[in-house]
Amino acid sequence: MILLGPAGNVEGDILTSLKKIKVLNLDAQEIEFVHSVMMGNELAKKAGALAKELNIRLSVHAPYYINLLSEDKNILDASKERILKSCERAHYLGAKYVIFHTGFYGKLTEEVAYSRVKIQISELMNEIKKNNWNVHLCPETMGKKSQFGSLDELIKLVKETGCKLCVDFAHLLARDQKIDYKEVFEKLKVLKLKELTCHFSGIEFTAKGERRHLLLDKKHTKELLSEAKKQSYDMIIICEAPNTWEGSLEMKKEI
């Protein structure tokens, strides 16, 4: 089964957005904590109950100000705090997945960066377990070559830590300057997935990677969905194009 929905609210606040998503006959919403985690636990519980009633799957995107590879302890600690706050809200929302951008290589080699990320992910997972939060960490595939988050890195991270991943197909296209959707799904087979959370949009990129998100590209949309429909596991595809819910409806027509 492929579930489709927008990144962010389609209208008004989260409660209004969920009702609108139901009217649009979409299946999911990713709640965006762009700058900080503003939502309180009580609203999260209320939104989670409504989403459950409407049969809408929720996920959470942690704030963008995260860098688990920072050499500055204050930045590192603040990054982990933002992720954990997002996890707490996700728990009360009933949102299984907490998606985040891991960080930048900086002067680190890819090998050293991987080792550091692995340590931080393991520590975060221990905190999640201590708090009995029913959520999964999902580092996201990233669109710039300066960022940690190639598909191979994240597959290895999932295998070695037990975290999950978010596959952003547009980011993979921008990072590698090309994409073979069949090959992406072949690589994912090693994880024996039961469910996968994903992002999709059009994208503008340079030799360094991602520049900005664009409206959906019809060719790429058809190629992705053609391969997605062949998979044995459920998939949640969040549209990050500028027209988030309209893009989701475009994709729904192709299923």
pLDDT more than 90, % of the chain: 98
Question: Which tokens hold the place of 235?
Answer: 């998939």
Look at residue 214 and tell me whether its pLDDT is greater than 90.
yes
**207-215-146 Cα angle (round to 5):** 30
pLDDT in tens, 55-86: 999 999 999 999 999 999 999 999 999 999 99
Q: Of the candidates 173, 171, 190, 191, which has an alpha carbon nearest to the alpha carbon of residue 238?
A: 171
pLDDT in tens, 127-142: 999 999 999 999 999 9
Total-model pTM: 0.96
Tell me how far CA of residue 227 lies from CA of 2, 123, 189, 196, in angstroms: 11, 35, 13, 14
Look at residue 124 and tell me whether its pLDDT is greater than 90.
yes
Average pLDDT over residues 100-121: 98
Tell me how far CA of residue 101 lies from CA of 94, 168, 214, 221, in angstroms: 21, 11, 19, 23
3 state DSSP class of 238 = strand
SS3 track for 130-188? HCCCCCEEEEECCCECCECCCHHHHHHHHHHHCCCCEEEHHHHHHHHCCCCHHHHHHHH
Question: What domains are defined for the chain?
Answer: 2-254 (3.20.20.150)
